[in-house]
Each structure stands twice: as C-alpha cells, then as structure tokens.
Amino acid sequence: MTEQADPSRDRLKHHFAQRVIHQARQVLEVWQRLQRSEWNDAGMLELTEANLRLLRYAERFEQLEHAQLAQSIGASLDEVVENRGRLNSSLIARLNQAMQRLSRTGLRHGDAFEQTFLPPLRKPVYIALQDARRAERLAQQLDFFGLAAQALSDEHAFRAAITERHPAAIVMDVDFAGAGLELAASVQDGLEQKIPLLFFSHCDTDTPTRLAAVRAGGQEFFTGSLDASSLLERIEVLTHVSQYDPYKVLIVDDSKAQATHTERVLNSAGILTHTLTEPIQAMDALAEFQPDLIILDMYMPECNGTELAKVIRHNDRYVSVPIIYLSAEDDLDKQLDAMSEGGDDFLTKPIKPRHLIATVRNRAARARNLKARMVRDSLTGLYNHTHTLQLLEDACFRARREEHPLAFAMLDIDHFKKVNDTYGHPMGDRVIKSLALFLKQRLRKTDHIGRYGGEEFAVVLPDTDEQSALKVLEEIRQRFAEIHYPAQPQDLSCTFSCGIAMLQPGLDGNALSKRADEALYKAKHGGRNRVELYGDA
C-alpha cells in the first residue's frame, strides 16, 4: 500500500523552507555590504549572528543543504576569529564559494541540477495592475524565468503584502485602486532604502502623469502592453542584483615583507590576492588567476615593473587589465614615464590602507565594466562569439587537468525568420533577449552563456555529465515554450532546438563546438523543438 501525500504537511514544510530562505537572504545581504566596505568587527559580528540564525532555522526545519552551508560559513568565520580577525585569500575564497552556493539555492538549479520546491532567494516582485487577470498572467510568466512574483488584486492586499515583506520591486498601474501613484508614493515614506518602482499605463499618458510618476519615485514607465522578458530586464537593472565575486588582485613585488603587507591590507577589505616575489612567473599566474587588477613594484632585480608591464601588454587578453605601480619612487617625471609604459596609476609608499583599498576597488570596478562591454553582446548582455570560444578553450583546459566532465551546448530558436517576417524585427529582438534572460535565470553562475550569432546561443557547462546536461536543457526547452509574447492577431510563443557534445580525450574547443553544431543540426532536422546529444543513434 503506497503512502499518500499529506497536503497540510507539505504546506507546513513549504512555510518552514521560506523561513530558511529568508534567513539565507539576510546572510547574503550582510555579505554584500561587507564586500562594498572595509571589513570590521561590527560587520563580522552581524554576519556571524545572521549565519547562526540560518543554521538554527535550517536544523530545526530539516533543510540539510542550508544547514551544511551555514556550518561551512561558520567554520570559516571561526578561522577569522582564530586569526585575530584577519582575513586571508584562502578564507575569502572559501567564504565566497559558500556564498555562491547559498545564492544558488531555491528554484535555480544547484550544482547537480536538482530542482527543489523552495522559492527563489530573491525577494518577490509585487504586481498591482487594474486588470487582475493581466497581473496573474504576468506573475506566471515571471515565474517561468525563475523570479518570484505576486499579483495583488486591491489596495488592502497590496498594503498587507507590504506590511509582511518589502519586495524587490513594485510594478504599479497608475490607475490601480483609483490612485496608483499616490499609493506607491506612500509606501516609500520613511524608507531609507527605496523600493524600485515601475509604473504602467494601458493608454499613453500625458506629461503631468509621467511627472507625477517621477515624483512618486518611478524609475520606469511602461505603456500599452507588458511582457515578462522586458519587465525582467528592467528589474534586473534597477535592483542591481550584485555579484558575490570578490575583486582579484595579482601582487608582484620582490620584497616578501611589502607583498605580505599589501596582501593583508587588501584581504582586510575582502579582496582576493595572489602574490609573486618572482616576476618571471607573472604570465603563468595571470593565465591561472585571471585578476581584475595587477599591482607591480617599480624596482625588482630580475625584471623591473615597466618591463613586466610591457610583457603583459603584449598579450591581447591582458590589454585592459589595470596595472598600478606601488613604489617608494617619488620623482614625478619617473612616475609619469612608468605610467606611459603600460601603467594606469602610480601609488607612492607608504600609502594609507584606505587609499589603497579605494584605488583598487575603483580601478577594478571600472575594469570589470569595460571588460563586460568588450566581451559581451550589446543586445543580450551575454558573452559574444569570440569570448565564448575563449571561455570554452579555458574550460577544456581545466576539465582535462582536473579530469572533470564538460558539456557544450548550442541552441537555435526555431523558425526565427518567420518571427521577424510576421511580427517585425523588434519582436525578434524581444524573443532573443527573452531566451538570454531565461538562460541566465535557470543556469548556474559557473556556466558560461554566449550569443553565438543571430538567433544562436552557446552554453559551456563545466563539471557536468551528459545526463545532467540533457536534463537541465530539456527542462529549459519545455519551460521556454510556455512563454507568451503579446502580439496581434494572436500572442506569440517560440521554441528552440539544442545540440550537446561532451569533451572527450583528444578534443579541443574547436572540435567540441563542431560536434555540438552537428547535434544541433540533427535536432533541427529531427523535427525541431528538441534536444539531441552528439553520438546518440
């Protein structure tokens, strides 16, 4: 006799899981704040207490994954205490790895692509539209993207939801409950951290209404129709979903004492470092560590800083990596000469720790933004064709070295020319952006997603066997087909075909991409809207 499910028990488990998820979010928010400022005792104490609550909730409500992560975070924080409050790169890396895993719990797939019943970690988006059915449909569509959304039918429901929990963002009809603008503005009163507001009007509006929306705190204004992909794109920008990756700095200094001092100062701000006292090893370290920024000593016996900067700049991959000279040299002419030889800044020893941290953070942030513009597709924000192939080569190298599996997938939107011909190129762009967002929402942070060209996409899946790759891409294919785009004479939905190839001995990135392309060709000619694995009969 089979045991029947108990709905009330499932609801209770779901409620407990939400408590754990909420506390996990608190841990991540404290971690993010620490990443933006110098670590201090108060911040460490707040992170420790938040993590202890997470561990207590996870153990009480039998959430094993969260309990293990909280224990891992707690062990690293204990090491910081034992190290007299000092961070080092090993501790930062371990904490960051645990936070990355914590950020992936919920509806997004974990490392083994196991889907759970837990809601996403991020706060929900509240949708308050005059048309309740439209709000429900929009909430459902956002859910397909992995974003929690809650449709609210009237002012009472809206205020009750706000009282219970502040959302990640509010989508508000200007006519909601007869006074959408005033209602949205009242929610922001007294809030130190304002909630992103996106206003909507079914009809085009006049300037006074838009001005009122701006004064109410509106950061976006939609008219006519609302589709989930465009809305999600704006929410992603407005909520500034932060990366948990610390900045990475390569320090090259022949003085062990000076290198250690620089390392400790940067580690105290949660910045990952890798230190070399032998400049001749710099190129190997660059390839392995992939830093956001390089700090060079000016005068070293084997190779001075300006010579090493020239060598680094010879490699196209490192042309845009900022180089900061850190030296006791106080001759302004010599400093300017050094900066003309590939350097971006010159800091004179001794330098105040806060000055060094601020300079590194600002330079590294700009470098990341610049790199993103150089290697990403302008329409989707995904990696461009060239950089995707570079990431595939890097992944092949690591997979062979570590003897881990690697999957590479190529996706192509079905009948895309028909979409452009029937609905116009703006709708085609919307579908492309929609699939890009969908992939970003449903794949891991460790996966690399690229726009290969036109309506074709590529995904590099490290540490992934063929069955896991098939499972996750098949599920993405099914869910993507459920998305609807408002259009005339009827709503549009799209599908994609996919080919997957696994890294085998003797293959390089180019051969692997050819195999994935062959599998994609097979999927296209097998009826489309399907996933094929290279080599399957």
Helix residue ranges, H only, 322-424: 332-340, 353-375, 385-402, 416-423
User: In the structure encoding, which two tokens stand for residue 405, read together?
Assistant: 């599996």
CB 185 within 8 A of CB 216: yes
Q: What is the pTM of this model?
A: 0.60
Q: How far is CA 23 from CA 20, 46, 169, 360, 451, in A?
A: 5, 13, 19, 32, 36
The three-state secondary structure class of 173 is: strand
Q: How far is CA 102 from CA 94, 322, 334, 383, 522, in A?
A: 12, 31, 48, 25, 38
Rounded-to-integer distance, Cα 243 and Cα 36, Å = 11
Burial class from Cβ neighbours inside 10 Å (0-12, 13-18, 19+) for residue 273 reads buried
Pairing label, strands 406-413, 496-502 = antiparallel
Residues in contact with 15: Cβ distance below 8 Å, sequence separation at least 6, in sequence order? none
SS3 letters across 281-304: HHHHHHHHHCCCEEEECCCCCCCC
CB 305 within 8 A of CB 325: yes
User: In the structure encoding, which two tokens stand for residue 512, read together?
Assistant: 């692997």
pLDDT of residue 112: 35
pLDDT of residue 75: 92
pLDDT of residue 175: 86
CB 486 within 8 A of CB 134: no
> What angle separates helix 416-423 from helix 425-442, to the nearest 10 degrees?
130
User: In the structure encoding, which two tokens stand for residue 407, read together?
Assistant: 């999957």
CA dihedral 40, 41, 44, 45 (to 10 degrees): -150
* DSSP summary character for residue 414: T
Q: How far is CA 221 from CA 4, 202, 505, in A?
A: 49, 11, 53
User: In the structure encoding, which two tokens stand for residue 250, read together?
Assistant: 């390569």
Using only C-alpha atoms, the chain has a radius of gyration, in whole angstroms, of: 26
pLDDT of residue 471: 92
Q: How far is CA 4 from CA 8, 9, 17, in A?
A: 12, 11, 21
């205020």: which residue's tokens?
159
pLDDT of residue 3: 45
E strands present in 444-530: 448-453, 456-462, 496-502
pLDDT of residue 239: 67
Rounded-to-integer distance, Cα 267 and Cα 89, Å = 6
pLDDT of residue 144: 65
Rounded-to-integer distance, Cα 119 and Cα 370, Å = 34
- From first to last of the 537 residues of the chain, give the pLDDT tens digit: 444 555 565 555 556 667 787 788 788 878 877 877 767 788 888 999 999 999 998 888 888 888 999 999 999 999 888 887 788 888 888 888 888 778 766 433 333 333 333 334 457 889 999 888 888 888 877 776 667 888 998 999 999 998 888 888 899 998 888 888 888 888 888 777 788 899 998 887 788 888 888 888 888 888 877 777 677 767 776 765 445 678 899 999 888 888 899 998 898 888 889 998 888 888 888 888 889 999 988 888 777 878 888 888 888 778 888 998 887 777 777 777 777 777 778 888 788 888 899 899 889 888 887 877 778 887 887 899 988 998 999 899 889 988 999 999 999 999 999 999 888 888 888 889 889 888 887 888 789 999 998 899 999 999 999 899 999 999 999 989 988 887 777 788 899 999 999 999 888 889 999 999 999 999 999 999 999 999 865
In the chain, what are the domains? 7-104 (1.20.120), 125-238 (3.40.50.2300), 248-374 (3.40.50.2300), 385-533 (3.30.70.270)
CB 93 within 8 A of CB 101: no
Rounded-to-integer distance, Cα 194 and Cα 238, Å = 11
Rounded-to-integer distance, Cα 266 and Cα 87, Å = 9
